[in-house]
């Protein structure tokens, strides 16, 4: 039984790595070496990324943990808990919570790529959490690695101040150095501490929804012992549940009935929504609570907002069902009904970031078969009105009239960009265009620089990452953390079609950019909106002031010359198709707008 293993034989650790630096492959190799999976199980690579989206994008979205037994060279058998971490900036809070569940971390760096921004920020989180860091240079078998290894070593030493001999060399793919890594985990990472008899203190680092048993809560036990039938209290939400099932995580859930201090595992308690199990919350016994919750809990707040509407207005209820089901397994998504004159009934949804938004959109379409229209994402603004009151604005359409606004505040981020030095110029240029301020730069090596830039989040929301990647040929990496709200000279830009405002196309932009923005948006819409039987005038306006205008000439000819002789059916089908096409459009006054128009702003840079 797991509970009989003494605490000093446990090791709890995670892996910190940049996308594609081999985290998942290394995890697979460790599982294989410890006999947790056989080589035969490894049909698809990267067992821990089980969501198809994760496999496609090569990133981890949901956390996973797995327990393995390793008999070390000292002859003793250790129980290792590997806790996976999400690999994207949108989920940095979740990363911090899973790091808090560990005593050590493997820092995996690609021998041919070197350290990247995301690695650094996660590494700092790990160092802050007091974790023992084991640096591993991966992919040493690649032909180009030999010349780079010394360089990468220098970067790592510079970063964490370790000794050169502490850096392990490995190739997860080729199975080189795996045992050294396991030995280092056993001997360099300290065992957990804690008192199995003290009041229960368990940290929730993840949870997932199971349709049969309710939420499966993943926890690290710091103190005390968790048993089935225990009444547990979730300290942040104040909810009490009776525990149904307790166990540890192998590749599947393995019921043990008990989980005590130092260990990592799961429990279920007929909890209906993952939202009720907040990541970072502390679970304790209801009858014998601990004195203090585990530090570091915070409510996850959405940073990026967008409207999600059913493509066909009749499907509103279906979309609501889909969002509710999706939220069972995604505690971070926020949504509430909203109405748009242009799009009808839909939802204003809040996301952790752009990736999270994309994931939600894709899941809605793939898992829930919803055809949706999404509006351009925006951030949350704080508006101080002239009468002194304040208002949070999550939807540009709700922005008060210009005369009633005293000041608008917008969220900023502190971005860390790591790039080869030759791209500093273009990247600086991009940051300046996006209203950024360089806070400092630090040379990691002679050819790689770490830039700290402060940027308005709203400017990053629009394809900043894609731009950064393209101007640096994919070499620059980005990570960011949210900083604070600052005042900005912002205006609401409205789009009018034949005089009717299109609420779903309103955006909030910096005043200096409004003219250029309006002009480009008008010309983009001109390309997307089909010709009508009448002229369509597209205008961009700030308040009542028109700042840009374009127009679509009326249709001149729309008839097929032939009626196909006696083949009336063919003609009828062609007309029905034309009619269906019309139905898929959204009606603004008399103007029919294709759904892609609502995301037109996102691709304003397309030069065509």
Distance CA 367, CA 362 (A): 8
Q: Which is nearer to another protein, 369 or 558 (CB)?
A: 558
350 touches 335 (CB < 8 A): yes
Q: Which is nearer to another protein, 365 or 576 (CB)?
A: 576
In this structure, how many other beta carbons lie within 10 angstroms of the beta carbon of residue 315?
A: 17
Residue 171, token pair as written in the block: 């190739």
Q: How far is the CB of 554 from another protein (least distance, A)?
A: 9
Q: What angle do CA 537, 539, 544 make, to 5 degrees?
A: 130
Residue of 597, 585, 572, 345 whose CA lies nearest to 495 = 597
Q: Which is nearer to another protein, 551 or 578 (CB)?
A: 578
Q: Which is nearer to another protein, 287 or 551 (CB)?
A: 551
- Strand 132-138 and strand 168-169: the pairing is parallel
Q: Phi/psi zone of residue 101: left (φ > 0), alpha (ψ -120 to 50 degrees), beta?
A: alpha
Q: How far is the CB of 528 from another protein (least distance, A)?
A: 17
Q: How far is the CB of 572 from another protein (least distance, A)?
A: 6
Q: Which is nearer to another protein, 442 or 590 (CB)?
A: 590
Distance CA 29, CA 27 (A): 5
CA distances from 495 to 133, 513, 553, 597 (A): 53, 15, 18, 11
Give 61-101 as a DSSP string.
-S--EEEEEEE-TTS-EEEEEEE----SGGGHHHHHHHHHT
Q: Is 500 helix (H, G, I), strand (E, B) or coil?
A: strand
95 touches 9 (CB < 8 A): no
Q: Which is nearer to another protein, 240 or 563 (CB)?
A: 563
Q: How far is the CB of 564 from another protein (least distance, A)?
A: 8
Q: How far is the CB of 597 from another protein (least distance, A)?
A: 19
Task: Assign 3-state DSSP to the chain and report helix, strand, coil percentages, each to 5.
Answer: 30, 35, 35
Give the ranges where 161-250 is alpha helix by DSSP (H): 178-188
Q: How far is the CB of 574 from another protein (least distance, A)?
A: 8
Q: Is 234 helix (H, G, I), strand (E, B) or coil?
A: strand
Distance CA 290, CA 234 (A): 11
Q: Which is nearer to another protein, 4 or 533 (CB)?
A: 533
Q: How far is the CB of 534 from another protein (least distance, A)?
A: 8
Give the contacts of 128 (CB within 8 A, at least 6 positions apart). none
Q: How far is the CB of 555 from another protein (least distance, A)?
A: 6
Q: Which is nearer to another protein, 198 or 585 (CB)?
A: 585
Distance CA 97, CA 380 (A): 25
Q: How far is the CB of 573 from another protein (least distance, A)?
A: 11
Q: How far is the CB of 587 from another protein (least distance, A)?
A: 11
Q: Which is nearer to another protein, 432 or 568 (CB)?
A: 568
Q: Which is nearer to another protein, 406 or 555 (CB)?
A: 555
- Strand 507-510 and strand 490-497: the pairing is antiparallel
Q: How far is the CB of 55 from another protein (least distance, A)?
A: 36
Q: Which is nearer to another protein, 187 or 531 (CB)?
A: 531
Q: Which residues bind another protein (CB under 8 A)?
A: 531, 533-534, 555-563, 565-569, 571-572, 575-576, 578-579, 582
Q: Which is nearer to another protein, 446 or 569 (CB)?
A: 569
Q: How far is the CB of 588 from another protein (least distance, A)?
A: 16
Give the contacts of 415 (CB within 8 A, at least 6 positions apart). 436, 452, 453, 454, 455, 460, 478, 479, 480
Per-residue burial over 480-493, b = 16 or more CB atoms within 10 Å of its CB, e = otherwise: bebeebeebebbbb
213 touches 268 (CB < 8 A): yes
Query: Residue 311: phi, psi to the nearest 5?
Result: -60, -35
334 touches 352 (CB < 8 A): no
Q: How far is the CB of 504 from another protein (least distance, A)?
A: 22
Residue of 130, 72, 98, 88 whose CA lies nearest to 15 = 98
Q: Which is nearer to another protein, 272 or 582 (CB)?
A: 582
């Amino acid at each position: 039984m797991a509970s009989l293993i003494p605490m000093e034989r446990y090791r709890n650790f995670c892996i910190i790595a940049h996308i594609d630096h081999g985290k998942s492959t290394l995890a697979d190799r460790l599982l294989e070496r410890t006999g947790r999976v056989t080589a035969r199980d490894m049909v698809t690579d990267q067992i821990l990324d089980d969501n198809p989206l994760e496999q496609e994008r090569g990133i981890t979205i949901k956390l996973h943990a797995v327990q393995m037994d390793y008999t070390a060279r000292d002859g003793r058998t250790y129980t290792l808990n590997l806790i996976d971490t999400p690999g994207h900036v949108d989920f940095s809070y979740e990363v911090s919570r899973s790091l808090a569940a560990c005593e050590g971390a493997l820092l995996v760096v690609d021998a041919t790529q070197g350290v990247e921004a995301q690695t650094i920020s996660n590494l700092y989180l790990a160092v802050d959490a007091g974790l023992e860091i084991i640096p591993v240079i991966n992919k040493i078998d690649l032909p180009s690695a030999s010349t780079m290894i010394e360089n990468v070593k220098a970067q790592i030493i510079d970063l964490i101040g370790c000794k050169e001999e502490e850096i392990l060399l490995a190739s997860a793919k080729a199975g080189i150095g795996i045992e050294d890594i396991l030995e280092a985990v056993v001997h360099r990472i300290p065992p957990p501490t804690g008192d199995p008899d003290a009041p229960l203190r368990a940290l929730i680092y993840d949870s997932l929804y199971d349709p049969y048993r309710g939420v499966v809560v993943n926890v690290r036990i710091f103190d005390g012992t968790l048993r089935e039938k225990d009444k547990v209290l979730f300290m942040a939400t104040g909810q009490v549940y009776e525990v149904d099932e307790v166990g540890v995580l192998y590749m599947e859930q393995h019921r043990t009935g008990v989980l005590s201090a130092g260990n990592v595992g799961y429990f279920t308690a007929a909890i209906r929504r993952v939202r009720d199990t907040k990541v970072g919350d502390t679970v304790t016994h209801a009858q014998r609570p601990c004195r203090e919750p585990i530090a570091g809990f915070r409510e996850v707040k959405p940073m990026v907002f967008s409207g999600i509407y059913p493509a066909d207005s009749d499907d509103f209820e279906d979309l609501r069902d889909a969002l509710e089901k999706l939220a069972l397994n995604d505690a971070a998504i926020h949504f509430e009904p909203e109405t748009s004159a242009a799009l009808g009934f839909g939802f204003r949804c809040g996301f952790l970031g752009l990736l999270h938004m994309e994931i939600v959109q894709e899941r809605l379409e793939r898992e829930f078969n919803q055809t949706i229209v999404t509006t351009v994402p925006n951030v949350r603004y704080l508006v101080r009105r002239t009468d002194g009151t304040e208002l949070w604005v999550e939807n540009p359409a709700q922005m008060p009239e210009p005369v009633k606004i005293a000041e608008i505040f917008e969220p900023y981020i502190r971005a860390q960009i790591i790039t080869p030095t030759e791209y500093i110029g273009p990247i600086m240029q991009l940051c300046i265009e996006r209203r950024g301020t360089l806070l400092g730069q630090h040379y990691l090596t002679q050819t790689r620089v770490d830039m700290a830039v402060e940027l308005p989040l709203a400017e990053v929301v629009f394809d900043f990452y894609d731009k950064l990647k393209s101007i640096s040929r994919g070499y620059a990496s980005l990570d960011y953390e949210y900083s604070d709200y600052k005042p900005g000279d912002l205006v609401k830009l409205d789009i009018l079609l034949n005089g009717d405002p299109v609420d779903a196309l309103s955006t909030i932009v910096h005043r200096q950019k409004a003219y250029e923005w309006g002009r480009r948006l008008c010309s983009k819409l001109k390309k997307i909106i089909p010709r009508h039987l009448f002229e369509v005038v597209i205008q961009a306006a700030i308040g009542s002031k028109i700042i840009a205008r374009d127009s679509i000439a009326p249709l001149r000819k729309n008839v097929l010359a032939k009626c196909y002789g006696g083949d009336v059916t063919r003609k009828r089908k062609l007309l029905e198709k034309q009619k269906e096409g019309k139905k898929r459009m959204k009606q603004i006054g008399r103007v029919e707008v294709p759904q892609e128009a609502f995301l037109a702003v996102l691709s304003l840079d397309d030069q065509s």
